[in-house]
Structure 1
Amino acid sequence: MIIILSTGHISGAHLNPSLTIAFAFLRHFPWAHVPAYIAAQVTASICASFALNGVTVPSVATGQAFALEFIITFVLLFVVTAVATDTRAVGELAGIAVGATVMLNILVAGTSTGASMNPVRTLGPAVAAGNYRKLWIYLVAPTLGALAGAGTYTAVKLEDTEAGPPRPVRSFRR
């Protein structure tokens, strides 16, 4: 939350390549910037992880770990997309909304999967510790969850209207 509030105005607080990819896919972020952002995210994760020299490995079955990481990242990106792309959302309190979502996700999945929600959050420790066991879960599930969560909010958000309360829009854009 502190990072989002303090640097969000500089970089959009893109700490997660799943978020960067989802936002580029939905045209909220230029594809041309994606490689540099992901390179910075991966580098930062690996550097931080060598400092900590820890690793996250799921304590539940592979399918359960995949489902948990998908769901918590879905929830995270649903909230992030709402507060980052819809001016009617919480505005300056976006960092609190995102931070609270991360905290809730950690409470739900922390003991089972480490509540990664971010491929580089787990890649860095895996590289530092030399432990790549089940790493694919942390690369694939958060990215798919991010695309699904951001896409779902984009599909269900109400369009802005000049007069009166927002009304549902019936469109099925892809």
Structure 2
Amino acid sequence: MALVVALAGCAEPSGPDPVASSAPGSAGSSIGAVQVTPCTAGRPQRSTRYDFNRDWQTRDLLVGVDAGDYVGGTAAFTGADFVEVGQLLGSGFMDPYERQNAAPSTWAIFQFLCRHPEVTAAGYVVSPERTDYRTSLEGVYSASIDPGLERDARVLCRHASLKTFRGHVDCFWD
């Protein structure tokens, strides 16, 4: 794992920007160009209506779902790290202010992932055939836990429907 340094309130690995260097759409990729929101970016301005990027093929490849994963117009994904969430945000597939029920905003979860790169997020994508097309986050997970992660996870997950902090972190907002 890369050396982690604190920078403007968010940890980001040193060396080449891992978000930019692993972005789909680079040489040899078969999906569209992907913009990136780095961990050090400021929170975007809130708009009255968020216009989601409708390139669902690229979005679905980013989160690892395909047509057979959709049930009722949604498909679940897991294992999205700060790089992937940064790509989803930067490309307009996620509204930084959106909240899945009692979950923190997408932006708050992204910043948490930036501070704790060992944590991944889970969520779902909504089919482009539906009027509520979007990408939402509804959980975070880490196979291990340390005192700093536990402290921050207890704050982030305070309103989670399900939460575990024994030996690992697992929070889900329903």
Band of TM-score, shorter chain = under 0.3
* Higher relative contact order, chain-length normalized (CA < 8 Å, sep 6+): 1
What TM-score comes out, normalization by structure 2 length?
0.27
What TM-score comes out, normalization by structure 1 length?
0.27
**Rg: which structure is higher?**
1
Q: Greater helix share, 1 or 2?
A: 1
